[in-house]
């Protein structure tokens, strides 16, 4: 009589959880280019139905994070160098505008938040924690976009970062960091009010 039916997980939340996990795995190179994503294995890993896995994969494909191939299933893309040219062109457009808008306008709290990210990225790079360094590098760029106040900039970067990460996995020389942390330091450093008249932040989309 006192038995209660266990709560059923929200299907939308479950699909989002699968989406977020795969997105993060692509960003930090735990899923390398060319990796096949099998619905059955993913369903077992996340303890959800294949229907929910399929929903997550379709959204990931729409956002350009993975490829869905007819009769072949899902896989992590293998972007070409030509794809890289397009991605970095797009990132330069967005991030140079973000840098222009933020020049000399960051609050002390915002500068402190960016400084903390840069220092964490430098520690991860020194300790050769590649996954954490990659995650922090992407978060630095997203944080700047958020500070610009334009949610479209944030959405565009969220769509471009997975392909950027895949390009780095394919074409970056071994041991070379995904981003140069000292250039991140320069970026937030020259966004202080005192630095604004003398310097404009460099917009290096890496």
At 123-171, the pLDDT tens digits run 988 887 877 888 888 899 999 999 999 999 999 999 898 888 888 878 8
Q: Where are the domains of the chain?
A: 11-75, 81-189
- Tell me, what's the pLDDT at 86? 94
| CATH code at 11-75 | 1.10.10.10
Residue from 105, 92, 107, 104 nearest 141 by CA: 92
Lowest mean pLDDT among 73-77, 129-133, 161-165, 189-193: 189-193
What pLDDT shows up at residue 165?
84
Q: Measured in Å, how far apart are the chain's first and last C-alpha atoms?
A: 60
* pLDDT score of 178: 54
For 154: left if phi > 0, alpha if psi spans -120 to 50, otherwise beta; the answer is alpha
CB atoms within 10 A of CB 120: 17
The per-residue pLDDT for 68 is 93
Residue 119 has, within 13 A of its CA and on its CB side, a CA count of: 7
Residue-averaged pLDDT of the chain: 82
Phi-psi region of 177 (alpha: psi -120 to 50; beta: other; left: phi over 0): beta
CATH code for the structural domain at 81-189:
1.20.120
Percent of the chain with pLDDT over 70: 78
Q: Which of 6-15, 57-66, 148-157, 180-189 has the weakest average pLDDT?
A: 180-189
Question: Does residue 53 contact residue 42 with C-beta atoms inside 8 Å?
Answer: yes
Query: Is residue 101 scored above 90 in pLDDT?
Result: yes
**Model pLDDT, residue 28:** 81
Rounded average pLDDT over 51-58 = 95
Q: What is the pLDDT of residue 200?
A: 47
């Amino acid at each position: 009589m006192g038995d209660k039916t266990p709560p059923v997980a929200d299907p939308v939340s479950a699909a989002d959880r699968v989406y977020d996990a795969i997105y993060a795995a692509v960003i930090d190179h735990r899923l390398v280019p060319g990796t096949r994503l099998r619905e059955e294995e993913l369903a077992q890993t996340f303890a959800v139905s294949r229907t929910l896995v399929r929903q997550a994969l379709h959204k990931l494909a729409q956002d350009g994070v993975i490829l869905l191939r007819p009769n072949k299933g899902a896989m992590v893309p293998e972007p070409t160098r030509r794809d890289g040219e397009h991605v970095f062109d797009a990132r330069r457009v967005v991030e140079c505008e973000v840098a222009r808008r933020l020049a000399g306008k960051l609050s002390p709290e915002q500068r402190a938040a960016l400084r903390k990210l840069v220092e964490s990225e430098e520690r991860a790079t020194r300790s050769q924690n590649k996954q954490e360094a990659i995650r922090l590098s992407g978060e630095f760029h997203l944080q700047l976009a958020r500070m610009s106040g334009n949610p479209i900039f944030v959405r565009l970067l969220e769509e471009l970062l997975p392909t950027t990460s895949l390009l780095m996995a394919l074409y970056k020389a071994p041991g070379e960091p995904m981003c140069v942390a000292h250039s991140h330091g320069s970026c937030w450093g020259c966004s202080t009010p005192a630095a604004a008249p003398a310097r404009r932040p460099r917009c290096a989309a890496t």
